[in-house]
Amino acid sequence: MDEFKVRTVDLQQVQNQTRHKTDGLSSSTLVLRRGQAFTVTINYDGRPFDPLKEKLIFRIVLGPIAVEVPVSRFGQPSLTQWTAVLERSVPNPTGPRALSVTLSSPATASIGVYTLQLRVEARLSVKTHLLGQFTLLCNPWCEADSVFLQSEDLRTEYVKSDIGLLFKGSPGNIVSRPWSFDQYEKGILDICMKLLQVSPQYQADMGKDLLNRSNPVYIGRVISAMVNCNDDKGVLMGNWSGDYKDGVNPSKWSGSADILRMWSETQFSPVKYGQCWVFAAVMCTVMRALGIPTRVVTNFNSAHDTDGNMTIEEYYNEKGEKLSMSRDSIWNFHVWVESWMKRPDLGRGYDGWQVLDPTPQEMSAGMFRCGPAAVTAIYERRVDAQYDVPFVYAEVNADVRTMIVRNGRVLSTSVDKRRVGALISTKRPGSMSMQDITSEYKTEEDENTYRGSMAGVTGRSTTFRCEPQSDRIMASKGVEVSLQLLKAPVVGENISFNIIITNNDAAPKLLRKHVNAQNKEYNRNPTETFWEAHDDIKIGPKETVTIKHEISFKHYMLKETEEDSLVNLAVVIEDVKSQERVLASEEFIIRSPSLDIQIQNEVSVIINTPQVATVIFTNPFNVAVSGELTVSGSGLLEEKAQMRLTIQPRETIKKRVNFTPRMAGARMLSANLVLENPPTIMHGFKTINVQAS
């Protein structure tokens, strides 16, 4: 009879990827998760395989590292080493014969792109067959993997879901933005693997980097540096200047695929431009693609403490204008990610969520990166626990010292221990609403008065509170003042607010009132004043007066394209006789109007069946507006739908978009409308449950 001769080997891509929960990920290779068995079929000619006459040895290669795995007839898949076990031979007297072999990788295997070879050693010959490549990812379904996550619902949300909701604005006026993580889009997984190869660590010492890639702590640190381009060939360049002429305004991105593809297609030139939520959303895509459970987190009133003294200094002049006298700043919001992993390097008790921040702010061991910092270590103030716990602790806990100054002299001071880290939030699993996770970072006494009021954030809406901002008040013995916004400010409408002044003394007073409104970027101090009001007030003993003000749209008309404009509003009340001064301030967002999306037959959206969506928008302005509408949806639209629009004052437009879903499950359709005048970006989204046919 003829000798045993291997004809072909089938890597069983469809069955293996379904079992490994990697179906849907697009790669040029087979995609597997570590710590789990996979099956290959060896088709052969000649006599049946005889383990006494020939040996089958798989060779598994990752860069300079190779493992030889002999096929055994008896044995169990192992979680600690590579194994290959002969399952059965399939007798077929007439046609080709087949052997089924189960291979399994250890739960601590390095993630990367492997090459698989098969060597057949007979008495007189040795033949090697190249079987192809496979990409190995982390496995949150495997208990022995250091990224194991117990709950199937949470694995679905933090690894498999590609729908994001990012929170921006200010704690009293939260805006939610849709984001498509796009990890299933064509070629994205391969680009994520490329990102590991372009890293300085891989370039400096390939073998060491590949060995370290078994550890998600190491992977997180590498990705955190690679998402920004500050010390390497990283993905995104940051820009907070307002001038984006030679790139893309960060507010115009709506998903990660465009950014990662642009980076890959330009031979790893940085993509222009990102700001914190863009850096974080792209990092979330990469980590989810690699199999590491990850979520995007917003910290409202995030302190950037440059001198490490845990205090942020703020200065106002006596007219209520905020001054740029300090390098410290409070970002209205800052966005990072948390990834779920074990931390054996920190001892017991620090497994779970870890902060990773790819926005380039400060260096960590010589590179712009941050984390992983265990959320538990931040909560427990374990500032010695690596990595970067002191920096993140200050972001959520610093004190704010506010001073009114004149000619370099401090006229009055107040300290606020509650403003920073007022609210820390993420998307609620399985829903398009917000989850408050402040209590995971801060103890009860650290937490603040915002708590109860934040419960009702839903959909693309804005949550808004109208009670006075008591935590921003500078109280003195004689006079108290507070600010109260009367409704959520929207672009195109007037801003209405009350100033409430109380005289605590038994004597009447003459007061001077100075109100000042300034534009600001979310990550730094305000710029020029665009509106102010100054007058004298007489107030009776023990009296409270309420004064209403309106700032008209023409006063704050936007100069550059923004999706949400931020304002710093402050009032200084001066007691003419005692020269005592008190200040109240409020930072808020003027949000853009929303787009509405309706689906023709919402309850029965079926895979591979044509559907129609309608985008609806009413022009709220007194002038005609024009701009570009873009509609996108991963798994719903192959190509983005784009159209130019001109809309008359108060006109409602309805634009139809045809789409055919190609993936089942929860999908998201999102729309962006970029107007030229006034320069505004508007968003809308609709989640759709696509049924399998």
- Residues with catalytic roles: 276, 334, 357
Q: Can you give the C-alpha Rg of the chain in angstroms?
A: 30
Please check whether residue 299 is in contact with residue 395, taking contact to mean a CB–CB distance below 8 angstroms: yes
How far CA 675 is from CA of 43, 592, 596, in Å, comes to: 61, 11, 16
Structure tokens at 13: 């891509």
The one-letter amino acid code at 232 reads D
Fill in the amino acid letter for 228: N
Strands 65-72 and 83-90: parallel
DSSP 188: H
The answer to whether 325 and 408 are in contact (CB under 8 A) is: no
Strand order in the sheet with 5-10: 5-10, 37-45, 97-104, 83-90, 65-72, 55-62, 112-121, 126-137, 30-33
Q: Are strands 399-406 and 409-416 parallel, antiparallel or unpaired?
A: antiparallel
Distances (CA, A) of 622 to 492, 493, 523, 648, 682: 8, 10, 32, 8, 17
H helix or E strand, kind and range, residue 409: strand 409-416
Separation of alpha carbons 683 and 693, rounded Å: 31
Spacing of C-alpha 153 from chain mean position: 19
List of residues 6+ apart from 363 with CB closer than 8 A = none
**Number of neighbours of residue 687 by Cβ within 10 angstroms:** 16
Query: Which two tokens mark 187?
Result: 């070629």
Residues 6+ apart with CB under 8 A from 222: 196, 199, 201, 209
43 sits in which H/E element: strand 37-45
Q: Is 315:276 a contact under the CB 8 Å cutoff?
A: no
At position 24, the amino acid (one-letter code) is: G
DSSP 268: S
CA gap 446, 449 in Å, rounded: 10
HEC sequence for 218-261: HHHHHHHHHCECCCCCCCEEECCCCCCCCCCCHHHCCECHHHHH
Looking only at the bridges linking them, the beta strands covering 544-551 and 529-539 are unpaired
CA separation for the pair 605, 586 (Å, rounded): 45
Q: Contact at 8 Å (CB) between 134 and 117? A: no
657 secondary structure, DSSP code: E
Please answer whether residues 147 and 289 qualify as being in contact, where contact means their C-beta atoms are separated by less than 8 angstroms.
Answer: no
| C-alpha span between 333 and 300 (Å, rounded) | 4
Q: Where are the beta strands (DSSP E) in 275-347?
A: 294-304, 311-317, 322-323, 329-341
> Do 359 and 331 contact (CB within 8 A), yes or no?
no
Cα separation of 336 and 348, whole Å? 25
The DSSP symbol for 152 reads H
